[in-house]
Chain A
Amino acid sequence: MSYERVYRMNLIMRINHWLMVIAFVACAITGFYIAHPFLVFETGEIIDSYVMGYVRLIHYLGAIFLDVILIVWLYLFFFGHHAYFKFIFPFKPRLKEALQMLKHYFTLKPEDRPETGDRMDALNAWGFLLFIILFKALMLITGFAMLSPQITSANTAIPGGQYVFSGIGAIAYLLFGDLATIRLAHHVMAWILIVFVIVHVYLEVWREAIWKEGDMSIVFSGYKFVRKKK
C-alpha cells in the first residue's frame, strides 16, 4: 500500500495558526484576570507594581494580533493557497459532505467518509467559518466597544483613531444595548471559543489516531498523507 503526500497549509496559514494559538492563550488568561483579578499585590507602593496595567497591555496586544490574523484569514478566504470559500461553496454538496463527515464521526465506517482529496473537509470549514467569523468578529467588536471610552484624540497615534474604536464599538451597542451587557457577551463568547478550541484539538487528535494519515503534521509541516487507491 502506498501513501500520497498532499499539501494542505502553506507557510502563511501555519504562521497564522500558531500566532493565533499564542494570542488566544494570552488573551484568555489575561482576560480572566481582568474579569476577576485572582492575584492581588499589596506591595504598599504603587510605583513597585503595574500588574493590571501589564495584563491589560498583553490582552490588547493579543487582541491586535487576533484582529490582524482575522484580516489575513479573510484574505486567505478568497485568495489563499486553497481559497477557503471553495471548501464551503458550492453550498449544497458541501453541506451534504459536512453532514456525511458528522455521520462518519459516529459510525467510523470508511464508506461514510467523504472524498476530500487535498482540501479541508466541509465540516471543519463550516466550523472554522462559524466560530472565527462569528465569535472572533463579535469579540473584536465588543472589545472595541469596551476600549473606546478610554481612547481619546490624546492617546491615539493615528489621527482620528478614536473614531475607529467608537465607530466599530457602536455596532456592539446596536447588538447588545449597553456596556454591561457588552461585557457579559464578551465573557460568554470567550467561553464558547475556549470550548471550540478544546473540541478542535480533540478532533484533530482523533483523526490522527483513527485515520492514521498524519493529520497532526498538517499544521507543522503543511503536508499530510492520503492513502492511494488501488
Chain B
Amino acid sequence: MKEKLEKELKDLIKKCDARLDELEREYGRQSGFIEWLQFRGISRRSFLKWSAIMSATLMLPPVFTKRVARAAEIAPRIPVIWLHFAECTGCTESILRSANPTIADIILDYLSLEYHDTVMAPSGEFAEKSLYDAMKKYKGKYICICEGSIPTNNNGNYLRIGSKAVTGLERAKEVVKDALAVISIGHCASYGGPQSAYPNPTGSKSINEALGINSVIIPGCPYNSSSLVGTVLYFLLFGKLPPTKGGRPVFAYGKRIHDTCPRRAHFDAGEFVRTWGDEAAKKGFCLYKVGCKGPLTYNNCNVPGWNEDISSPIRSGHGCIGCSEKAFWDKMAPLEKPIEARTLPGIEAVADHVGWALVGVAFAGMGIHAVYSHFKSKSINNQGEKPCCKNEENE
C-alpha cells in the first residue's frame, strides 16, 4: 500500500515537473514577478511561506511547495479575460481595494488581464476592440473568468454591456466558446446571486445554467481570493481543473465552516452568545444562537483565512451567513436568528410554530372525540348494547 502511494506520488511529481517545463517553454520564465512582489513589499521568503500555505490549501504534500512557487511565477503569463455581468463588482473590489494586498491578490492583479471592465485603461469602443483582439490572439488558450449572473427573461434585455450594447447572454456565449477553461467566481456567477432571489423578475441565472456549460464555480460573497488562485495554480500544475463536488473545487469547499471553526469548542461545550455584545460575545463563545449558518455551509474561510489569515468572518465576531451555498438569502434567512428560525416555504411560519399548531389541533380533536365517545357510549349502553361486540349479554 505504502509503496503504491509512493509510486503514485513520484509519478505525479514527474508529470507536474514535465508540465511546468512545458509551460515555461511556452510562456517564458517570468522575469519581473519577484521584483514586482518586492516592489509591493513582499520578500522572497514570505512568498515561499505563502507557497507552502497554498500547497497545503490545495491538499498537496510539502514536496509541492517549490512547484507551487514555480507555478505562481508562471501564472501571470496565462491570458485571462475577465467578464462582468449582473453583479455589484464586489468580488473585484474585494481584491483590488485591500489595504494590504495578499500575494494571491497581487497575482490576480498581475495576471495577464487581456480584458477586465473595471480596471482596464481603454473604454468604449477601444475596450471592445481589446476584447476581440484578445479573443482572436489567444483563441482556445485564454482562461475566462466570469463574475455576475446573466438575466435571461425578456431575451436578456435587462443587461446590456459595452459600446454596442450587446446583451450579457450574447457576450458570455461569444467569449466562453473559445475559452480554454471557464471559472465562475462569486455567488452571482456560481448560483445566481441576490438578483435571482425569489421572485427573480429578471430571470437571472448562474453562468452554468444560462449557458449550459460545466465551469468550475467558486461561490462566496465575495469569494476568497486564495480559492481562485488555488484553482489557477492547480490548473497550471496538473493541466486540468481541480476535482469538484457539485461544481465547487473540493480543496476549498470540501469541508463545512462548522467543522473547521475556531469557536467549535464553545459549541460542543454549550456556550453560546445570546445577544450581540453580551459577556459571552466578549469571551468569543459560539455564534450558533445569533444565527451562524456554519453547520450548513461548505467553505474554507477558517482554513487559509481571509487576507493572509488575518481574520475570517467567524473570527471577527459575526456568524457565517452561508454565502457559498445555493440561494442562501432564501434558505438561510433570517441571517441573525438561529437556524431553526427559517420559515417554511409557502406558509411563512417557523417549523416549531407549525409543530405546536399541529399538536394543538391534535389535542383539540382528541378532546372533542373523547367527550363525544363518552356520551355516545353511554347512550349505546342505555340501549342495552356495548360498543365492543355485538349480541352480548350485560355483565
A contact residues vs B (CB 8 Å cutoff): 1, 35-37, 39-44, 46, 48-53, 55-56, 105-111, 113, 149-150, 177-181, 183-184, 187-188, 190-192, 194-195, 198-199, 202, 206, 209-213, 227, 229-230
Q: Is B369 an interface residue (CB 8 A)?
A: yes
Known: A108-B376, A199-B362. A37 touches B388 (CB 8 A): no
Instruction: Say yes or no: A195 contacts B289, CB within 8 Å.
Output: no
Instruction: Say yes or no: A178 contacts B269, CB within 8 Å.
Output: no
CB closest residue in chain A, given B327: A178
Instruction: Say yes or no: A52 contacts B269, CB within 8 Å.
Output: yes
A51-B54 Cα distance, complex, nearest whole Å: 36
CB closest residue in chain B, given A182: B296
* Residues on B with beta carbons closer than 8 Å to the beta carbon of A43: 269, 271
Instruction: Say yes or no: B388 contacts A41, CB within 8 Å.
Output: no
Chain B proximity of A15: nearest CB distance (Å): 28
A39-B259 Cα distance, complex, nearest whole Å: 22
Residue from the list B270, B380, B392 in contact with A51, Cβ < 8 A: B270
Contacts A/B (CB < 8 Å), 26 sampled: A37-B270, A37-B288, A40-B271, A40-B272, A41-B269, A42-B280, A43-B269, A43-B271, A50-B268, A52-B267, A52-B269, A106-B372, A110-B380, A149-B256, A149-B258, A150-B256, A178-B296, A178-B326, A180-B293, A183-B296, A187-B340, A188-B351, A188-B354, A191-B355, A202-B370, A229-B389
A122-B296 Cα distance, complex, nearest whole Å: 41
The 7 closest A-B pairs by CB, nearest first: A51-B270, A191-B355, A53-B268, A180-B331, A35-B340, A110-B390, A52-B270
A51-B272 Cα distance, complex, nearest whole Å: 11
**Residues B262-304 near A (CB distance < 8 A):** 265-272, 274, 279-280, 283, 285, 288-289, 293, 296, 298
Residue from the list B267, B289, B352, B392 in contact with A227, Cβ < 8 A: B392
Instruction: Say yes or no: A188 contacts B269, CB within 8 Å.
Output: no
Chain A proximity of B374: nearest CB distance (Å): 9
Q: What string of 1s and 0s marks CB contacts (under 8 Å) between B236-258 and chain A?
A: 00000000000000000001101
A53-B269 Cα distance, complex, nearest whole Å: 7
* Residues on B with beta carbons closer than 8 Å to the beta carbon of A187: 340, 351-352
Instruction: Say yes or no: B339 contacts A35, CB within 8 Å.
Output: yes
* Residues on A with beta carbons closer than 8 Å to the beta carbon of B395: 1
* Residues on B with beta carbons closer than 8 Å to the beta carbon of A1: 392-393, 395
A37-B280 Cα distance, complex, nearest whole Å: 14
Instruction: Say yes or no: A110 contacts B271, CB within 8 Å.
Output: no
* Residues on A with beta carbons closer than 8 Å to the beta carbon of B289: 36-37, 40
Q: What string of 1s and 0s marks CB contacts (under 8 Å) between B366-394 and chain A?
A: 10011011001100100001111111110
For chain B, give the interface size range: 35 or more
* Residues on B with beta carbons closer than 8 Å to the beta carbon of A106: 372
Instruction: Say yes or no: B388 contacts A110, CB within 8 Å.
Output: yes
Residue from the list A49, A149, A192, A212 in contact with B271, Cβ < 8 A: A49
Q: For the complex, would chain A's binding face be called helix, strand, loop or mixed by DSSP majority?
A: helix
Known: A40-B274, A42-B279. A211 touches B267 (CB 8 A): no
* Residues on B with beta carbons closer than 8 Å to the beta carbon of A199: 362, 366
Instruction: Say yes or no: B266 contacts A46, CB within 8 Å.
Output: yes
Instruction: Say yes or no: B380 contacts A108, CB within 8 Å.
Output: yes
A179-B257 Cα distance, complex, nearest whole Å: 13
Instruction: Say yes or no: A46 contacts B388, CB within 8 Å.
Output: no
* Residues on A with beta carbons closer than 8 Å to the beta carbon of B362: 195, 198-199
Instruction: Say yes or no: A110 contacts B269, CB within 8 Å.
Output: no
A108-B386 Cα distance, complex, nearest whole Å: 9
* Residues on A with beta carbons closer than 8 Å to the beta carbon of B338: 35-36
Instruction: Say yes or no: A202 contacts B331, CB within 8 Å.
Output: no
Q: Is B203 an interface residue (CB 8 A)?
A: no
* Residues on B with beta carbons closer than 8 Å to the beta carbon of A49: 269-271
* Residues on A with beta carbons closer than 8 Å to the beta carbon of B48: none
CB closest residue in chain A, given B375: A108
Chain A proximity of B156: nearest CB distance (Å): 26
Q: Is B172 an interface residue (CB 8 A)?
A: no
Chain A proximity of B372: nearest CB distance (Å): 8
Q: Is B17 an interface residue (CB 8 A)?
A: no
Residue from the list B325, B352, B355, B385 in contact with A179, Cβ < 8 A: B325
* Residues on B with beta carbons closer than 8 Å to the beta carbon of A40: 270-272, 274, 280, 289
Instruction: Say yes or no: A46 contacts B269, CB within 8 Å.
Output: yes
A167-B327 Cα distance, complex, nearest whole Å: 24
**Residues B96-128 near A (CB distance < 8 A):** none
Chain B proximity of A178: nearest CB distance (Å): 6
* Residues on B with beta carbons closer than 8 Å to the beta carbon of A37: 270, 272, 288-289
* Residues on B with beta carbons closer than 8 Å to the beta carbon of A36: 289, 338, 340, 352
A43-B256 Cα distance, complex, nearest whole Å: 27
* Residues on B with beta carbons closer than 8 Å to the beta carbon of A209: 373
